[in-house]
Structure formats: C-alpha cells, structure tokens
Amino acid sequence: MLISRQNNYLLMTMRKNIYGKIALMLIISVLMVSNLTILECLSGKINYYAEIFKYPLPSIPEPVLDGSEFYVKVKMPSSTIWINAIVYNEIQVVNASLIEASYNNKTGIWYLKFDLPSGLREGAYNLNITYKPSENESTKILNQPRCLWILPQWPEKLVILACGDVKPEGIPYWKEMVYEANLINPDLIIFLGDLVNVPNVASEWIKFLEPFKLILDPIYVTAGNHEYSGLGVANIYKRIMGPVNYTVTIGKFLLICLDTDRDGWIRMERLKWAENILKRNIDKTKIMFFHFPLFNVKLKEKGTAYFKISSIEDFNNLVKQNAISETWEPYLDEAKELFRLIIEYDVRLILSEHIHTDFNVIVENINTGKKHYFISPAALAYDIPDHDIRGFKLITIYANGTIIESTLYYPGTGMFNYPNSIPIDSGTTTYYRPVLPYKIGFLEYYYAPANDGKHYAVSLKINNELKVSFNNPRIIFKLPADIPIERYEWKPFKPEYEVITVNGIHYVILRNINIPSQSQLTFTVYAVEDKDKPKVNLVDVPSLVDKGSWIQFKVEAIDNGWGIRDIEVKYTVNDKEWKNPDLMDFIEAENGKVIYKVWIKAPNIDTKLKIKAKAVDFSDKTSDEVTKEIIVGKPPKAKYNLKITSSPIEGISFKVNGTKFETPTTITLEEGTYVIEFEGKVKVNDEEYEFIKWSDGTTNPKKIIKLNKNVELTVYYEQISKPQQPTLPPEEVKPQVPWTIIVGIVIAIAIVIIVIYKIKGK
C-alpha cells in the first residue's frame, strides 16, 4: 500500500496545527506498520549501498590524495579472497593494488587497504573491487559508485553546497538542485536530512535515489526525522545510506555528522563520542551538521539573531530569551553540552535543516573574538512557509576557520533579511500555492544538439539569472576523437582547456571560466560547418482564455547542426506593439530540441492576442516565423466594411445608428444590425435633390441591414427642377426720334431764349 495523493495532502495540511501534528504522527505510524514488507518486495529496485560496503559510501565518500592510499570496509565471509581494485569515472581509470587485508571475526568486516596510483584529476570516483568468494570459485566484482574523492592536495578552502529536506513532494526541486550543482561544481555537497517521508515505502527511496545517482560531486548525507520508523530506529536508512553518526577528515578540515533522531535532539552518548573526536582534532577547522537546528526559528521574527557570550553559562540567558528550539527545550542538558562543544572546540560552521526555511544565527565569543555560524538553508521541500522560497546555500570556508559571510546570504538580502538562500524557484504565496508566473531554476544550461561524443559540433548555452557569480564551473565538451583536437575551432573565442582522450572521445575540460551574475555564456566547438536551418513550433497554445488569466504554452525549437541558441517569443494585442512574455522557463534540451514554457498575462478586456516565435541557432541562422492567435474573454465579433456612395452627387450627410457620416465613405463595423438614414430631400451647392432609391431597388431613405459580410450600397438622388418665369407679351415699338433732330431743337430753343433776353434788355 503506497501513500496516495490524498494522504500526502492530508499530511501536509495537518502540519498547520498542533492537533494536526499529533494526527500526523499517528497516520505515519499506521503507514509504517502497513508498509513493513513493501520495501522487501521491491528491494531489487533500490541500491543498498551500505549493506555490504560499510565504507566508503556514495553518501560518505573518502577523501584521498592522488597517489596515496585509501581504505575500504566490507562485510563479507572470511573465505573471501581479495585481488585488486579499479578506480574510475567517465574520463579516467586506474588499477589500485591491494596492500593489506584483515578480517574481524566479531564484526564479520574486512578492512582493506589499497595503493592509489598518481595522475588522477580532482573529483569523485567509482570503485570496483575484484574478489573470489573462495579459492575454487571464479572472480566477481563489488561495485560502489562515487565513493572516493580524489584530490591533488589538501584544500585551503572549501566551497560547500548545503541543501536538504526533499521528501517525495519535493522531487522536482531535488532534480533541479542536482542539475544546477553539476554545473556549479562545488567542492562538496552536504545534504541535511529528510530524504523520504516514510522510510518503509520503497517508491520514495527510488524517487530520491534517481537524482542522487546523477550527482557528480562528493556528497555527505545526514538522516532526518523522516528516515526513522521509530525512536533510534533508522534501519533502512543505514542499509542504503550508512551510519547516522560519522566524521570525515579533509586535510585541515573536519566534518562531524551527528544524529538528532526522530524527536529532534542529540543524545548525550553521541555528544561524548563527538567530544572524543574533537579532542583528537584540535587543530582542524571543524564543520558540524545535523538535522534539527539548536536555535528557535521564531528568532527570525525579531529581525536579528546575533548573540555575544563570554562563557558557556551564557547559554542560560539564551534559554530565558526563548532562543532554543522547541525540540531541544525538554533536553536542555544535552542542548547546553552541544553548545559547550561548539564553543570550546571552536566549531565554526554548524549546518541544519528541518524547519523548511532559511535561518541564520551568529554566536560571538567576546573573549576570543571567534564567531560560530549556525546556518539553515531554504528547503527543497514542497511544504514550505508562506511567502518563502526553495533554495540552497553556497558557503565558502577557509582552512584557518574564516567564513566569507557574504556567502551566507543571497546578494540583495542580508544575514538576517529573509528569504536569503540562493533561490531554486519563484516561491509560494499561501498554503504552498506558487507565485505566478512560476519558475523552477534560475541557472539554466544545455549542450546542443547533444554532448555525447558523436557530434563534430557541440554548443553550450548558460543562462545565469541569479545574482551570484560562479567560478570554475564544470564544463566538459565530448567530441569524436577521429578528428585531432587541433582541427576543432571555437566560437566566440578559444577558451583555456585541457583534453583527455578516452575510448574514441576527446573530453575537453574548460578551465578558468567565470559565469558572471545575471549573464549568458555561450561556446561552440566545431569541425564541420552548420548547414541546418532551425525550426520552431508553438505547442499547446490555448484557443480561448479568460480575461486576466495566465496563458501557458510551450515553444519548441530544433536544430541538428550547431544547435539552438535563442528562442524569441513576442505577443501583441493591437498588432502594433509587440511585447516580451512575462516569463520563459527552460524545460529541457535533448537531441537538438530545446523546449521552454511560456507565461503571458492575458489582458482584462475581450480581445485577440497574437503570438509569434522564431529561433536562432549558434551559427546565426534564423527559423521561419510561426504565429498563433488566442481569443481572450468573449470571442470578438467579426468586423465587416460598409461602403456607401451617392449618385449623381457626393457629400450627402447620413446616419448609421445615429452617428453622422458623409458620402462617399467606408465604415468598418462589427457584425450586427444597423439602421442607415438618409434625408428625403437634400441641398447640395444651393441645388436641391430628392431621394429616389437604393442600389438594391428599395425606395425608403431609412434602411435596416444585417451586416455579416462586406456590403456596398449606393443611394440615388434626383435634382428638383426650378419653376419657369411667366412669358410677357412683346411691348409696342414706338418710333425713335433721331438724335440730330433733338440736338437741332435744343439749339433752336436756346437761340430763341437769347433773342428774347436781348430785346428785353433794350
């Protein structure tokens, strides 16, 4: 019986209240009892790394100097005959000679010592041990993956990637963490517990181990409370991962893993064991890690957690300030003893998890000036606090004990300004609901078309959206070795690299590379020209979405030449302004195909949204553009043209649904019913005209039409004739007197007047 999705939801919901916590414990107990035989039934699917091998393990690799000796502990019969060992990874392989083999009759464990040849690069290696079960039997091989950490010399500093708390619901974040870590290339990873939810459920281990097997760096694991089926009972964890308490020496550094059991505190006998280890390593820089934190996460609410002490007795003041975690409060003697060990033996870095959120505490000893850093990274779990993120820490610590404080928090935050882990996702709002648009992974990279040693051209794209720079990332190109490496060319420039040629493949390992914060980095190494043109496609684009909703779809591009470099997606709601999507989240790249998830916020209006996409490959070839349309809200009505002309005159005013226009005109209108009104009589240029008819023969100047296609109409008018003036009869023509006669008469009259005037004067 496996845990159903409903049960998972119930478990997470119950964590919200105290009664839920009680019920949660009861449910888990029932599930554990009901699943006792499940793991055995499915045991063939699980790697029990620690069942035969006791050390080293994939969860506790042994640091070994190149060319020195290493030790192995295995539980095998006393009749076993040991022959030799092979140390290898994908790039290098050497034979290690057996120096010594001794058997403990009480424990049934063999102690083996091997001589490691020199010449191996730094990194994690697998181990095969050849043996014979007895003198008369054939040889067999014991295999243990990623259990040796080969170093050219002991490090002066360590870059530690700290993360934890996965459980089945957090597998997507665990996969992303492994993917990013394999590029970041930390010195080591410390995983802080809660690998599974219920330890007796086989499927949960299978889900966790799938990404675990892909890790390329040394990783050290501690058990969380979810690895226990009862108090002090972590049998399945011990068979798969190994011991719950252990120490590892890395030159000047000492790692101490302690166990907080199922109920969240460290037993006194384990603290005494730890003190014996600390006494023997006074000169080491000490790093301690366990699952349950010592300090109370509620200190986050105070805005700071910086404590100055002058003696161990100041621990009592911390108790009075409610600074100690709830799981430790009933066991203050053990809590104080742990605190004493940390202060007296100068444990500089203390890592823990469990609380599913990032949390920093600094304790400064004012007598010595030394600081002790209690650090919890953000979890990789599904069930995180409201308005929080999933993430990890990338901590730098030097062999003299100095910790670079700026590596304890994400740039732009602060030591006590949360969330302050390096984010691995966009985070949550409330009740685990994601922030939208949602994104997993801000450090994206891929090789194209494939980095499998079969392609004569391989490209790499890294997109770092984080505010963190990464030095010396793991970048390895795999190229066919039938062409000399000197014949391969580089774009945009030739980097510094080393080449190891194995099994027909050039492994080209880039050196001294830096990935700046919020930047992109690309390389192409090639021995053939690019002839392929990229192709792009929009996938799962919805045809209809609600107003104001998030539109989600995928864009895929493929190129089997040099590979896809960029995919550009734009959208518009007005066919004029093209905008970038709200988010493009890289999904995967495989066999020349690159896939992104696209998020676009739909506008709050009824409209159409048009999307276009194109792809560009690493040789700058561009794909054909593809487009799609999305209806937002109610589907918009179709629009048609209404063209109206008039004859024999133009400039006639008319109305369409009350809006005035003038002929000739073309109006674009939505599909629907419209009323067109012309006047029966109009006057144009002082001439009067009378409506006669429409071009369809109707004679009413008011017309109702259903516009469901483009329509052309003409209105016909006729000039109104002016009334004629009445014709008058011709007047009688009178005879005209010649002007010469008139002049003569006037002159004669004038002479008569003059004569009369003279006579009177006499």
Domain CATH for 711: 2.60.40.10
Chain centroid to Cα 640, Å, comes to 45
Residue 434: inside a domain: no
CATH number of the structural domain spanning residue 77: 2.60.40
Residue from 102, 149, 83 nearest 122 by CA: 149
Instruction: Name the 3-class secondary structure at 407.
Output: helix
Which pLDDT value is given to residue 686?
Answer: 85
Query: Considering 608, 632, 656, which residue would you say is the last residue of a domain?
Result: 632
Which pLDDT value is given to residue 739?
Answer: 56
What band does 576 get if pLDDT is binned at 50, 70 and 90? confident
DSSP 583-647: EEEEEEEETTEEEEEEEEEPPSSSEEEEEEEEEEETT--BPPPEEEEEEESSPPPPEEEEEEEEE
User: Across residues 552-580, what is the average pLDDT?
Assistant: 95
Model pLDDT for residues 310-323, shown as the tens digit of each residue: 999 999 999 999 99
User: Lowest-pLDDT range, 246-260, 584-598, 733-747?
Assistant: 733-747
Query: Considering 102, 135, 151, which residue would you say is the last residue of a domain?
Result: 151
Hey, which bits of 618-758 come out as E strands? 626-632, 639-647, 653-656, 659-662, 665-670, 672-678, 681-684, 687-694, 702-707, 711-719
The domain in which residue 359 lies consists of 157-423
Which pLDDT value is given to residue 752?
Answer: 63
Q: Which residues lie below 8 Å from residue 476, measured CB to CB, with a gap of 6+?
A: 91, 451, 507, 508, 509, 510
DSSP 526-541: ESS---PPPEEEEES-
Hey, which bits of 28-68 come out as E strands? 53-55, 62-65
Cα Rg of the chain (Å, integer): 44
> HSE-up of 356 (CA within 13 Å, CB side)?
17
Tokens 């043996």 belong to residue? 131
pLDDT of residue 696 exceeding 80, the answer is yes
Asked if residue 680 and residue 553 are part of one domain, the reply reads no
Q: Do the beta carbons of residue 606 and residue 580 sit within 8 Å?
A: no
User: Across residues 635-661, what is the average pLDDT?
Assistant: 92
Tokens 């008139």 belong to residue? 742
Q: For residue 233, give both structure tokens.
A: 């009972």
How far is Cα 36 from Cα 343, in angstroms, rounded to an integer? Answer: 42
Q: What angle do CA 293, 384, 233 make, to 5 degrees?
A: 50
As a dihedral over the C-alpha atoms of residue 409, residue 410, residue 413, residue 419, rounded to 10 degrees, the angle is -80
Residue 32: inside a domain: no
Asked if residue 314 and residue 227 are part of one domain, the reply reads yes
User: Across residues 350-356, what is the average pLDDT?
Assistant: 98
What band does 571 get if pLDDT is binned at 50, 70 and 90? very high
User: Across residues 257-275, what is the average pLDDT?
Assistant: 98
How far is Cα 353 from Cα 360, in angstroms, rounded to an integer? Answer: 11
Strands 347-351 and 285-289: parallel
How far is Cα 172 from Cα 424, in angstroms, rounded to an integer? Answer: 10
Asked if residue 145 and residue 167 are part of one domain, the reply reads no
Residue 679: inside a domain: yes
Q: Which residues lie below 8 Å from residue 443, measured CB to CB, with a gap of 6+?
A: 180, 183, 184, 462, 463, 464, 465, 466, 470
Asked if residue 393 and residue 301 are part of one domain, the reply reads yes
Which pLDDT value is given to residue 634?
Answer: 87
Asked if residue 318 and residue 182 are part of one domain, the reply reads yes
Which pLDDT value is given to residue 5?
Answer: 30
Strands 653-656 and 519-526: unpaired
Asked if residue 546 and residue 596 are part of one domain, the reply reads yes
Q: Do the beta carbons of residue 189 and residue 181 sit within 8 Å?
A: yes
Asked if residue 139 and residue 71 are part of one domain, the reply reads yes
Q: Do the beta carbons of residue 675 and residue 656 sit within 8 Å?
A: yes
Asked if residue 342 and residue 289 are part of one domain, the reply reads yes
Q: For residue 205, give both structure tokens.
A: 């281990």
Q: Which residues lie below 8 Å from residue 312, measured CB to CB, with a gap of 6+?
A: 336, 339, 340, 343, 344
For 130, 176, 524, 735, the CA distances from 567, given in Å and listed in that order, are 50, 22, 17, 107
Q: What angle do CA 441, 445, 446 make, to 5 degrees?
A: 130
* Helix intervals (H) in 449-512: none
Asked if residue 137 and residue 253 are part of one domain, the reply reads no
642/2: higher pLDDT: 642
Average pLDDT, the chain: 91
Asked if residue 541 and residue 520 are part of one domain, the reply reads no
Q: For residue 713, give both structure tokens.
A: 């109409």
User: Across residues 680-708, what is the average pLDDT?
Assistant: 92
Residue 430: inside a domain: no
Residue 339's H or E segment, with its range, is helix 332-344
Q: Do the beta carbons of residue 545 and residue 551 sit within 8 Å?
A: yes
pLDDT of residue 29 exceeding 50, the answer is no
Query: Considering 524, 559, 582, which residue would you say is the last residue of a domain?
Result: 524
How far is Cα 695 from Cα 698, in angstroms, rounded to an integer? Answer: 7
User: Lowest-pLDDT range, 16-25, 114-123, 317-326?
Assistant: 16-25
Residue 746's H or E segment, with its range, is helix 739-761
In sequence order, the β-bridge partners of residue 373 are 349, 362
Q: For residue 107, give both structure tokens.
A: 């424990």
DSSP 483-499: S-GGG-EEES----EEE
How far is Cα 173 from Cα 380, in angstroms, rounded to an integer? Answer: 6
Residue type, 255: L
pLDDT of residue 10 exceeding 80, the answer is no
User: Across residues 398-427, what is the average pLDDT?
Assistant: 97
Longest CA–CA separation in the chain, Å: 196
What band does 755 get if pLDDT is binned at 50, 70 and 90? low
Residue type, 167: K
Instruction: Name the 3-class secondary structure at 211.
Output: helix
pLDDT of residue 203 exceeding 90, the answer is yes
290-313 b/e (C-beta count within 10 Å ≥ 16 → b): bbbbbbbbebbeeeebebebeebe
User: Across residues 645-653, what is the average pLDDT?
Assistant: 93
pLDDT of residue 732 exceeding 60, the answer is no
Asked if residue 281 and residue 224 are part of one domain, the reply reads yes
In sequence order, the β-bridge partners of residue 112 are 72, 101
Q: Do the beta carbons of residue 546 and residue 554 sit within 8 Å?
A: no
Q: How many residues make up the chain in this entry?
A: 762
Model pLDDT for residues 438-476, shown as the tens digit of each residue: 999 999 999 999 999 999 999 999 999 999 999 999 999
- The count of structural domains within the chain is 5
Asked if residue 663 and residue 589 are part of one domain, the reply reads no
- Over 349-385, what HEC string results? EEECCCCCCCEEEEEEECCCCEEEEEEECCCCCCCCC
Q: For residue 668, give both structure tokens.
A: 């674009």
pTM for this entry: 0.83
Residue 437: inside a domain: no
User: Lowest-pLDDT range, 246-250, 566-570, 688-692?
Assistant: 688-692
Tokens 């007795």 belong to residue? 313
Model pLDDT for residues 36-92, shown as the tens digit of each residue: 333 433 444 799 999 999 999 999 999 999 999 999 999 999 999 999 999 999 999
Residue 493: inside a domain: yes
Residue 428: inside a domain: no
Strands 681-684 and 687-694: antiparallel
The percent of residues in the chain predicted with pLDDT above 70, rounded, is: 89
What band does 9 get if pLDDT is binned at 50, 70 and 90? very low
Q: Do the beta carbons of residue 265 and residue 297 sit within 8 Å?
A: no
User: Across residues 376-387, what is the average pLDDT?
Assistant: 97
Residue 35: inside a domain: no
pLDDT of residue 34 exceeding 50, the answer is no
